[in-house]
């Protein structure tokens, strides 16, 4: 086992897959000579050269289209969005091409494409750099969406994504790159469609993902001291939702809190609530509580920014409300 930062875990995954398979290449803004804004591609350009680590112009729609075309011809592109918010400029390519071409071609084309990069609410990055795009992309048929939360699952998810034959979006959080974790020296992979039970418990189920995993675990420390026994699940897979793992937990706890940094309207929590209400409503002994970001552009002002997202005390209050 070795201590590894999350950004280094992603770099290791990319390096290992590029070394293993010459069809894997990286492209994006400043990924080459500069090594990426968060150093996920540091030193890869000197190792693999211009043709496999491509610095692109500031033209997201163009280089996303190029990546999709490359995937159609048998290559395995990994697109880094310098900030995932910028990829709204490539929404047409992602939705009308990446998600659809395998189907509209009758299966003649596969799109083994990975789109990854930083997103989420950072620290005073302003509205245009603080977007959570999981809700935007969730409705697109043909895409898989995962969100890493630890160096361990970041590396395993990226390796699995690069080897998958479908277009996959891997969301990283801008505030988690400097997390450290002990990673195995041996190769490993993490499924792209499975949630992780972070903590077993009997009283209530708390669902979360990405950075909110840490806010939830801070809340859990307080709840344990007060005699509560929550179960915590990190969704990891945002599309498809691992509803089976959620249902197994609900059969035990019968109560649910969902904590996300996504917006409340049309967010990931909204989709989970819909699925549970459709098929598993009888498992609930109380209404589902969802704790989501406010439906406003994220303010630049630090205090106002904090007011838009969920913090541990809100999670504690929600759990106590359902259990007391």
Residue labelled with tokens 């750099």: 129
Candidates 12, 60, 134, 196; catalytic one: 60
The answer to whether 29 is a known catalytic residue is: no
Taking alpha carbons only, the member of 51, 140, 63, 47 closest to residue 101 is 140
Between β-strands 289-293 and 237-239, what pairing exists: parallel, antiparallel or unpaired? Answer: unpaired
Candidates 29, 45, 80, 129; catalytic one: 129
CB 197 within 8 A of CB 157: no
Q: CA-CA distance, 61 to 91, in Å (whole number)?
A: 8
The answer to whether 221 is a known catalytic residue is: no
Torsions phi, psi for 181 (to 5 deg): -155, 160
53 Cβ contact list (under 8 Å, min separation 6):
25, 26, 27, 31, 32, 41, 44, 45
Could you say which DSSP state residue 192 is in? T
Taking alpha carbons only, the member of 146, 97, 143, 139 closest to residue 117 is 146
Q: Which residues are catalytic?
A: 60, 129
């Amino acid at each position: 086992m070795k201590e590894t930062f999350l950004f280094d875990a992603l770099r290791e995954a990319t390096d290992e897959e590029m070394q293993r398979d010459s069809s894997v290449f990286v492209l994006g803004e400043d990924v080459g000579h500069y090594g990426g804004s968060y150093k996920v591609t540091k030193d890869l350009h000197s190792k693999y050269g211009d043709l496999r680590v491509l610095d692109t112009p500031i033209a997201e729609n163009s280089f996303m289209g190029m990546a999709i075309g490359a995937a159609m011809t048998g290559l395995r592109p990994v697109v880094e969005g310098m900030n995932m918010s910028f990829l709204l400029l490539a929404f047409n390519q992602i939705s009308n091409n990446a998600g659809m071409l395998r189907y509209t071609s009758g299966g003649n084309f596969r799109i083994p494409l990975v789109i990854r990069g930083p997103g989420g609410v950072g620290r005073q990055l302003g509205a245009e750099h603080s977007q959570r795009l999981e809700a935007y992309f969730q409705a697109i048929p043909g895409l898989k969406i995962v969100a890493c939360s630890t160096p361990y699952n970041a590396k395993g998810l990226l390796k699995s994504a690069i080897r998958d034959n479908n277009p996959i979006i891997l969301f990283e959080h801008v505030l988690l790159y400097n997390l450290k974790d002990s990673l195995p020296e041996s190769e490993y992979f993490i499924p792209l469609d499975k949630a992780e039970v972070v903590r077993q418990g009997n009283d209530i189920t708390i669902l979360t993902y990405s950075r909110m995993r840490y806010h939830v675990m801070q809340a859990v420390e307080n709840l344990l001291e007060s005699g509560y026994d929550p179960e915590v699940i990190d969704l990891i897979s945002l599309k498809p939702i691992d509803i089976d793992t959620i249902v197994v937990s609900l059969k035990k706890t019968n109560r649910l809190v969902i904590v996300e940094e996504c917006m409340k309207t049309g967010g990931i929590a909204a989709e989970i609530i819909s699925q549970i209400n459709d098929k598993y409503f009888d498992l609930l002994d109380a209404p589902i509580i969802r704790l989501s970001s406010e439906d406003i552009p994220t303010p630049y002002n630090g205090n106002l920014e904090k007011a838009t997202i969920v913090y541990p005390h809100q999670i504690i209050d929600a759990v106590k409300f359902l259990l007391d």
